[in-house]
Amino acid sequence: MIYEFRTYDLQPRTLPQYRTTLEKSLAGGRLELSPLFAYFYSEFGLLNQALHIWPYESVEERFAIREQAVKKQDWPPATGDLLVGQNAEIMFPAPFNDESITGDHGPFYEMRTYTYATGDIPKVIDAWSKAIDERRKHSTFVGAWFSELGKLNKWVHIWAYKSLEEREQVRAEMIERKIWPAPGGPAPRSQQSELFLPFPFSPLK
């Protein structure tokens, strides 16, 4: 299984137009070809971003489905004039992810992006595997992914919260009780946090 993370940078004040165009375009049959995992827009961090995440069985399936999609009249969406930048990354899921997660877990989704030293990702997976079951009892764990194509040694994880207050409380408690960060894992070289909200048509609400 692979996940394609597509990040679009929008012109300021065009988010409502982008949303309307996407709703019409998605209704044209794109989701009949493959499922959508999530579709978010940024609230904190770099603004005017749209993040959509698509799972595929393989890179080969991704290419085949995208080829089928462009044959549809409504895909890709007619949003080119609203975009100032696009980025696509292929990420591989951690072995402890729940691939079936969907539905209402937000509305606040925090995506944290870490980079590690060369060779550290297997150590991260090992440490998280031992700690994640206890950590996920306290707030919704959406998933974690690591890079194999593009910028290497990246570790992306997404957590859902009902409120910003819940986020602060949970994080403080996890640190105080030494449940999280995962004990024994290597320290990241860099860290970034972004907060997203779901579009109405996102499977993760």
Residue 60, H or E segment: helix 59-69
List, for residues 60-113, the tens digit of each pLDDT value: 999 999 999 988 878 999 999 999 999 999 999 999 999 999 999 999 999 999
What DSSP string describes 134-178? Answer: HHTTTSEEEEEEEESSSS-SEEEEEEEES-HHHHHHHHHHHHHTT
Residue with tokens 């080119």: 80
- pTM here? 0.95
Domain boundaries, the chain: 2-95+104-198
Predicted confidence (pLDDT) per residue in 171-204, tens digit: 999 999 999 999 999 999 999 999 999 999 999 9
Is the domain covering 2-95+104-198 a CATH 3.40.50.11400 domain?
Answer: no
Q: What Å distances lie between residue 121 and 2, 95, 127, 181, CA to CA? A: 17, 12, 10, 15
User: pLDDT grade, residue 24 (50/70/90)?
Assistant: very high
pLDDT of residue 44: 93
- Each residue of 128-179: pLDDT tens digit? 999 999 999 999 999 999 998 888 999 999 999 999 999 999 999 999 999 9
Pull the structure tokens for residue 158.
């997404």
| Residue 107, number of CB atoms within 10 A of its CB | 17
Angle at 146 between CA 145 and CA 149, to 5 degrees: 125
CA distance 193 to 162: 17
**Which are the contacts of 57, defined by CB distance < 8 A and separation ≥ 6?**
1, 2
Q: In angstroms, rounded to a whole number, what is the distance separating the alpha carbons of residues 37 and 30?
A: 13
Alpha-carbon distances, residue 92 vs 3, 102, 157, 170, 182 (angstroms): 6, 18, 11, 27, 20
Closest CA to 34 of 81, 11, 7, 1: 1
